[in-house]
Structure 1
Amino acid sequence: MSVSIAFEKARADDRAALVGYLPAGFPSVDGAIDALRAMVEAGCDVIEVGLPYSDPVMDGPTVQAAAQRALDAGVGTRDVLRTVEAVAATGTPTLVMTYWNPVQRYGIERFAADLTNAGGAGLITPDLTPDSGGAWIAAADAHDLDKIFLVAPSSTDERITMTTAACRGFVYAAAVMGVTGARATTSDLAGPLVARAKAVTDTPVAVGLGVSNGDQAAEIASYADGVIVGSAFVRCLLDHDDTSQALGALTALTDDLARGVRRA
């Protein structure tokens, strides 16, 4: 199921979509599945399943810590696909977010086929650009998968035009310069970046990097089509060793964020 369906439903409700991220395999494979299902039940419209990677150059310390625990436990691509299958079974569009090297190692065509068979919607590739991603674009198109590339405040108008034209599903607007992580305030670079992207595409534009509460979600939802939250969800699991407490914290945070995108 393409994520565009979730954005269309949100637009029909006159609100932004809420996109939630967790790495597969943290705190365990089954634990991550339970956590992601709780996020769906509490209001996430789209799910991103992270593929743990040993050299996560764009990840902040929170996501790195969770991904490293998954890697230490031996979590691999097959576990990621099992997680996607379990979450997609809820009817919620489910994406994989991954650095490009693991996809190349697995095999681009094989990855596209296996992701499709798992019910996945597509791929977010933070370190792959459309002009160097021809092999992935061809495989994704062959399997009807969404292709989500990133634009940043530093992107030239030419690159924003090129990148948004290659996206299907939504455009990922990285709202802050630097690595991921929840922040006390949202970036003042986000609004102008979204405006620049929207000037050249009708594809929904979602903002990620830094959102940690409903007030921030409401602020971004006032001008973006989607609000992406990752580190704040991961922090809930890092801060609670007790499973029921962790799921309770995740549910409360998701509810706060979901209210935020509706309040806008």
Structure 2
Amino acid sequence: MRNLIIVFLFCLTCCVVTSCKSDGSGPAPVSSISEPAGGGEYVPDGYKLVWADEFETPGLPDTTRWGYQTGGHGWTAKERQLYTEANPDNVRVQDGMLSITAQLTAENRRNPFSSTRLVTKYKATFEEGYFEIRAKFPEGDGLRSAFWMVGDTVSKIGWPKAGEIDLVEHYGKFPTVVGAAVQTPDFFWSGKGQKGGSRIVKSATTEFHVYSCEWTKERLTFAVDGEEYWTYEPLPGRAQMGYPFAWPFYLVANVSVGGLRGPETAQINTGIFPASMYLDYVRVYQK
């Protein structure tokens, strides 16, 4: 009996250890989940689903998967929204999809808008893989919808040293254009100019499309509905200055308003609000 107890305790300890990330920053991706029905059409060979949110439970987002970054200090682009926490006016799951909604609140001059910025920081981080979302974006001057990834080392080494992968960006002023970009010490939007690509998607604001990024040790490849449109490879010899993608990243989804990367508040048509980005699912695959 004593030996059986020891074996049981050993197995229990192993289960606890393997369910946590080695860096202690949060739960590891689930490696035993199955591919949703009808999924995987564009997934490259050799990848298996390790983490997903299908947004099936109505209400606020799943707190085991998502947290919030809040505040109205403008972030890096001097944006005009206040990011709220767990406010159903700004974020909710309904009818099998997640909506992130920018609202006109006019509560103060600095932040006359509200929105949500969801993150998997402290919940799940990923190093390399194939990342896929199915999304639809809002139209209107001043809106910027994005799904992206940030190096989990950002609190230690700062941005852009930690790296950023913009899986998809959509500016409401240009409703038929979607884009992808990377932010590195060599190239970043507020300094030396970011590297990125774009593609015409005529129904980006009226229909759902699949946006993806395959991240390997050598390159980042971006696609819409399985069709690749831009690949990033660093300049030779630049190491982490050109490719700071050698550590775990967390996921981010948000809708921002105005700022340096969009028109000033005075130019924004207030009639476009509320304005929502919809996510049908988020899926992460690894080898």
Higher-RCO chain (CA-CA 8 Å, sequence separation at least 6): 2
User: What TM-score, normalized to structure 2?
Assistant: 0.26
Greater helix proportion: 1
User: What TM-score, normalized to structure 1?
Assistant: 0.28
Q: Which has the higher Rg, Structure 1 or Structure 2?
A: 2
Greater strand proportion: 2
